[in-house]
A and B are shown apart, each in its own frame.
Chain A
Amino acid sequence: MIRLFVFLIAAAACAEQRGQKEFVQSCGFCHGEDATGSRAPDLVRSPLVNRDANGDLIAPVIRNGRPDQGMPALPLSDSTIQDIVAFLHLRVKQAASSSRVGGDYPIERLLTGNAEAGRAYFNGAGQCASCHSPTGDLAGVAKKYPPIFLEERFLSPRRGFVTLTVTTPSGEQITGRRDHLDEFTVSLRDASGWYHSWARNKVKVEIHDPLQAHRELLAKYTDADIHNLFAYLETLK
């Protein structure tokens, strides 16, 4: 079953590739090699292409052309036409998913900064070195994460645990990992793992957020700082 599925996906990918080749040769001159239009309309956002199911609308247009609008009929085989249909549907899908910025985002696009300037920022203005070390906790960090996630992680590490120290009216102090903190309630887990909660207005709360420096940097970074710092961190292989 899984094999059949993989086979089908591979077959579809082949059809799209063949379709792209054929499209570039037969259609690209007018519709653009990527089908986004040139002398003839953009097919990626064409209503006809978007409404097509398995070639029911596209195939007749390729076969018969649109002589009134200057498009010739193309003498292509049914299977070639189906390949072109597959390619056009792929292009529609690619446009609709163009908001994806995932783990495969190419490092070349991110590497516009200067690693030396990044190192200087790390040790200087960014004050990164007061918590981190390129030979300590950050040794090999560039190998651990895909580039785009490395950038997001240094900008905004989401996993640091906030610690709270609560002083009760009797003067007792309890420190533990934050469970919840809002205008009305504070709760934490103490060192032994037990849960405690209080009304916020009955106790004194001290917040120790290990990521506070990262938050403060968000308001200070220039884009160049970010690109330089990223270039530097990418050298830590």
Chain B
Amino acid sequence: MKANLARCAALCGSLAAALAQGLDPAALLKPPTDTWPTYNGDYTGRRYSPLRQINSSNIKSLTMAWAFQANADAIKSTPLEVNGILYFTVPEQVWAVDARTGRQVWHYRYRSEGGDHIGHRGVGMWGNWLYFETPDAHLISLDAKDGHVRWNIELADVKLGYFATMAPLIVGNHVIAGVSGDATDIPGFLESVDPETGKMQWRWYTEPKAGEPGSETWPKDSDAIGHGGGMTWMTGTYDPTLNLLYWGTGNPNPVLAGDARLGDNLYTCSIVALNPDTGKLAWYFQPSPHDTHDWDAVQTPVLFDADFGGKPRKLLAQASRNGFFFVLDRTNGEHLLTAPFTETNWTSGIDARGRPVALKEKEPHADGRLLLPGSDGATNWMAPSFDPGLGLFYVVARRVFSIFYYTATGKPEGWAGRDHNLYEESTIRAIDYRTGEIRWNHELGPGESVAGILTTAGNLLFTGDSQGNLLVLDPATGKTLWHVNAGGPMFSSPMSYELDGRQYVVEGVQGVLYAWALPE
């Protein structure tokens, strides 16, 4: 452990000396203030900013500092902010923008050979270099100074159905990159790449090989395990002291075809702890064993140290797409708490290991089965947040009624069916991590909100609703403190930084990036 920290510190020191405008890796180990160096702001995934210049006593005077029009599809990425420059993305495109003024510094355009353009979460940064994944599942390194390509490698073959949307996580000298795609039956994996050369360091496959631990959770006498699934859609988190990566994995394939793959289907729909130097699995926990509803468990595994059951513990919490909130001990994966954070209709209870038990009759069927939530999930990729002062975990919780049809008649491949949404409404909820109790509920009305959450030491919670409003709430009570109609829904998660003594909060609304601050 100590060796890791020392190594990291040595690396930080040597890199920092050589840098003028690049990222000092030491910033990755600190709470985000003048720098937002990684997708979630820091390794913990808490999306809690220690900044307090904008706070509950002056929030009424919040004003627009600048706006940047990307003239692009919805911005679903969280910008990085390093030395006064913001770096953010949409599929195929990266921008560098002046974080003080909103003026463009450079723009990079990639021409993808096919691939799904569903969304993009952003870039990773190591020293002077950026790391950007593409719809055709390539990983590209750009020079942060001017957006010039340093190298371009293929992570996976787009012709097989792979694509990529996530923001790579940088740990030491590893670029940790995930992949997406579940329309075809392909195995998910997480890959570590050398930041200088682009050479693969290790690859961890979601499905174990035949005979390895976990393979017993797939049928033995069929090719089911080869159908794969378990994509690594989202950016994980990291504990530098334990030297463990925490990653959520996606649903198994064929997506709705449970009978074709009886068993728990490890390590799909799981939270896995991996060694970042070797890619070896340390432990796992599976929020949705044998998933048949596309409820991937890729929501941020949020890390914090706090009391649980009367003693201090290193915790990991996830509000999962299936509607349940989980708390684990992140040193060893010991299960501590499972509690629903919204209404669901698909379980008969919680088993001894803390896993929700799925009702067989709620598996998709040719005649249709009514589910709460539907495949869009009780929550999804939009970021949750944890306020360490209040001990509250915040999540966008949605009631999505949906009916699942299983369509395959022969051997299933791909999705093998689909659900159709019937009604959706959204809320923001504060969960007490010790009990799972909902401390407050803020109704957002009809529709599926996809806005993420940021909390700050200024006693503020930043988010949006599904009606086009940006919201600032009181994180202790859920009461609205500020709002503005920003002209469209927020498809992104807010972030914050301080430059020249001024705090900014940046939020993407469709193709526009807004920066909010106090009047100068």
Real binding pair:
yes
* Assembled-state Cα–Cα distance A42/B343 (Å): 40
**A151 to B405, alpha carbons, bound, how many Å?**
12
- Distance of B233 from chain A, by nearest CB (Å): 17
Contact residue among A32, A95, A111, A184 (Cβ-Cβ distance under 8 Å from B184): A95
Neighbouring A residues of B186 by C-beta, 8 Å:
45
Interface assignment of B401: CB less than 8 Å from any CB of chain A:
yes
> Which residues on B sit within 8 Å (CB–CB) of A100?
407, 418
Contact yes or no, B469 A182, CB < 8 A = yes
Contact residues in B for A110 (Cβ distance below 8 Å): 366-368
The count of residues in chain B whose C-beta lies closer than 8 Å to any C-beta of chain A is 47
Q: Mark A81-116, 1 if CB is under 8 A from B, else 0.
A: 000000000000011111111000100011111000
Segment from B69-77, B104-112, B156-164, B333-341 that makes contact with A: B156-164
Q: In the complex, which residues of chain B have a beta carbon less than 8 angstroms from the beta carbon of A97?
A: 414
> What's the minimum C-beta distance from B61 to chain A, rounded to whole angstroms?
18
Interface locus among A14-22, A58-66, A132-140, A219-227: A219-227
A164 within 8 Å of B (CB atoms): no
Asked if A12 is an interface residue, CB under 8 A from chain B, the answer is no
Interface residues on A, range: 35 or more
CB-CB nearest in chain A for B445: A182
B74 to chain A, nearest CB (A): 20
* Cross-chain pair count, CB within 8 angstroms: 126
| Residue in A34, A36, A218, A223 whose CB lies within 8 Å of B401 | A218
> Contact at A184–B410, with CB atoms within 8 Å?
no
Distance between B293 CB and nearest chain A CB, rounded to angstroms: 13
Q: Would you call A155 an interface residue if the criterion is a C-beta within 8 Å of the partner chain's C-beta atoms? A: yes
Knowing A98-B414, A151-B368, A152-B420, the reply to whether A105 touches B405 (Cβ < 8 A) is yes
| B425 to A, closest residue via Cβ | A215
Q: Which of the residues A34, A50, A105 comes within 8 Å of B411, measured between beta carbons?
A: A34
From 466 to 499 in chain B, residues with beta carbon under 8 angstroms from any chain A beta carbon are: 467, 469, 480, 483, 485
Q: Besides A32-B411, A182-B445, 10 other CB < 8 A contacts?
A: A37-B223, A42-B223, A45-B186, A50-B184, A99-B415, A215-B423, A218-B372, A223-B368, A223-B369, A226-B368
Q: Could you give 29 example pairs across A and B, Cβ below 8 Å?
A: A34-B411, A37-B411, A44-B185, A44-B413, A45-B226, A45-B227, A47-B160, A95-B184, A96-B414, A99-B415, A99-B418, A101-B417, A101-B418, A101-B420, A109-B405, A110-B368, A113-B367, A155-B422, A180-B467, A182-B465, A183-B465, A183-B467, A183-B480, A183-B483, A184-B469, A221-B370, A223-B361, A223-B367, A223-B369
What is A's interface to B at a CB cutoff of 8 Å?
32, 34, 36-37, 41-42, 44-45, 47, 50-51, 94-101, 105, 109-113, 148, 151-152, 155-156, 180-185, 215, 218-219, 221, 223, 226-227
